[in-house]
């Protein structure tokens, strides 16, 4: 069998299982209305939660940095790729997150891999939430420590696992701050209490919480008034740019500079991204009205869909998953939404558990009332047609 025949057979199996994925082409900037595959759609699947990706102040800063520093950074941070913009942004992120220091990575994915593959040692154990993001799962796989999974946000199960793992040298609890497919928030206050009682360290991936949760958008730490040992984040969601970061103590950052392979062996972020992200943090901190508007939209959408009879997950975050159940029906639902001018993809196994296929809506501060009214009316119509409500 030829190489391509072998791959085609495997793809065919994916298709038969209804799990085939295809790319869509966006022909416009990330706004609520975009041209998707040639047709205009109201997009309810963007991570640009505060609309910063094309904010004029951020774009102006990007252009200025681009003129000064050019496009690529030309090397890893430890060779020629460390500019003043990288250091300024790290200081900005550290002060925003109320931590001693921060370190940039090329993406949130690589930040998770870098931390989890370098920090725990052989003889340690990682206690990982069942619904953690793929980058945490992959980081655990690359770690020399063992991994034990606890039930999603189930504190008595986590406590049981902490008791069972007392013979390990060190325990690390690792969790998403906001779970990317469920929109739920990790009970960080309880996790911190358990970590103190059982002498464990806590690592939180605040990818979807940064800019969104807490009064100033500092994330789950601000929301719960706690300070985990390691807080990871991305610049690609509410910050509206690209890149990842880790925050914590100065010694943690020194350690990662010396041991995190995804930091050491990677070309650094382009300075233009650092300049843009720097400006974005000012918006996040100062423009509270964007966050307030976002949370109003979340409440309207979730509340209305629930009152229509839909099962809606999520806990006051911009991720609003509407459970359809059957995979094929979810895909049909998403197609019908698209025919109505709404882009909201179906999320299927293995990304979510079998029988829990869903339409994963995300809302942004830039959606207006008429976008939301159209979304809700379409959900009601399609929900009745497919006998979901």
Ligand X SMILES: Cc1ncc(COP(=O)(O)O)c(C=O)c1O
Tokens 């205009």 belong to residue: 40
- Find the binder of ligand X among 51, 244, 270, 321 (CB under 6 A): 244
Instruction: Give 129 or 372: the residue with its C-beta nearer to ligand X.
Output: 129
Q: How far is the CB of 267 from ligand X (least distance, A)?
A: 15
Catalytic residue among 46, 135, 180, 221: 180
Encoded tokens for 17: 């299982």
Is 234 near ligand X (CB under 6 A)? yes
Q: Determine contact, residues 138/113, Cβ cutoff 8 Å.
A: yes
Is 207 near ligand X (CB under 6 A)? yes
Instruction: Give 76 or 351: the residue with its C-beta nearer to ligand X.
Output: 351
Which residues, in sequence order, are bridge partners of residue 39? 36
- Find the binder of ligand X among 46, 117, 118, 135 (CB under 6 A): 135
Catalytic residue among 161, 208, 367, 371: 208
Is 360 near ligand X (CB under 6 A)? no
Per-residue binder mask for ligand X (CB under 6 A), 26-45, x = binder: --------------------
H helix intervals, 49-133: 56-69, 84-96, 108-118
User: Which residue's beta carbon is nearest to the bound ligand X?
Assistant: 108
- Residue 11: CB atoms within 10 A of its CB come to 10
Q: How far is the CB of 106 from ligand X (least distance, A)?
A: 8
237 is catalytic: yes
| Rounded alpha-carbon distances, angstroms, from residue 340 to 40, 242, 303, 376, 377 | 10, 31, 22, 11, 10
3-state DSSP call for residue 287?
A: coil
- Find the binder of ligand X among 124, 182, 205, 222 (CB under 6 A): 205
Encoded tokens for 370: 């008429």
Encoded tokens for 311: 């099962």
208 is catalytic: yes
Site size toward ligand X (CB under 6 A) is: 14
Q: How far is the CB of 243 from ligand X (least distance, A)?
A: 7
Query: Exposed (0-12), middle (13-18) or buried (19+): which is 309, by Cβ within 10 Å?
Result: exposed
Q: Determine contact, residues 280/241, Cβ cutoff 8 Å.
A: yes
- Find the binder of ligand X among 92, 97, 133, 348 (CB under 6 A): 133
- Residue 34: CB atoms within 10 A of its CB come to 18
Residues that bind ligand X (CB under 6 A): 107-109, 112, 133, 135, 176, 180, 205, 207-208, 234, 236, 244
Give catalytic residue positions.
180, 208, 237
């Amino acid at each position: 069998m030829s190489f391509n025949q072998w791959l085609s057979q495997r793809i065919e199996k994916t298709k038969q299982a209804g799990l085939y994925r295809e790319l869509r082409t966006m022909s416009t900037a990330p706004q609520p209305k975009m041209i998707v595959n040639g047709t205009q759609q109201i997009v309810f699947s963007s991570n640009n939660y505060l609309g910063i990706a094309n904010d004029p102040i951020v774009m102006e800063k990007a252009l200025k940095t681009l003129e000064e520093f050019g496009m690529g950074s030309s090397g890893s941070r430890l060779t020629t790729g460390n500019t003043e913009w990288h250091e300024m942004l790290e200081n900005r992120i550290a002060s925003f997150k109320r931590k001693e220091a921060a370190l940039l990575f090329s993406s949130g994915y690589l930040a998770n891999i870098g931390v989890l593959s370098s920090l725990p040692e052989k003889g340690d154990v990682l206690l990982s939430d069942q619904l953690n993001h793929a980058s945490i799962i992959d980081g655990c796989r690359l770690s020399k420590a063992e991994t034990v999974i606890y039930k999603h946000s189930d504190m008595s199960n986590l406590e049981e696992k902490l008791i069972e793992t007392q013979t390990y040298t060190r325990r690390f609890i690792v969790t998403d701050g906001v779970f990317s497919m469920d929109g739920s928030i990790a009970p960080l206050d309880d996790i911190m209490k358990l970590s103190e009682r059982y002498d464990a360290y806590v690592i939180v991936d605040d990818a979807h919480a940064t800019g969104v949760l807490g009064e100033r958008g500092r994330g789950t730490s601000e929301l719960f008034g706690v300070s985990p040992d390691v807080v990871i984040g991305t610049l690609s969601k509410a910050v509206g740019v690209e890149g990842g970061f880790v925050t914590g103590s100065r010694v943690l950052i020194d350690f990662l500079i010396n041991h995190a392979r995804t930091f050491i062996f990677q070309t650094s972020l382009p300075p233009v991204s650092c300049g843009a992200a720097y400006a974005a943090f000012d918006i996040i901190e100062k423009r509270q009205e964007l966050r307030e508007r976002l949370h109003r939209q979340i409440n309207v959408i979730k509340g209305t869909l629930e009152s229509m009879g839909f099962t809606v997950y999520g806990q006051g975050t911009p991720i609003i998953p509407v459970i359809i159940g059957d995979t094929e029906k979810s895909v049909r639902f998403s197609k019908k939404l698209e025919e109505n001018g709404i882009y909201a993809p179906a999320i299927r196994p293995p990304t979510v558990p079998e029988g829990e296929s869903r339409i994963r809506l995300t809302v942004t501060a830039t959606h207006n009332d008429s976008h939301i009214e159209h979304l809700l009316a379409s959900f009601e119509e399609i929900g009745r047609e497919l006998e979901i409500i």
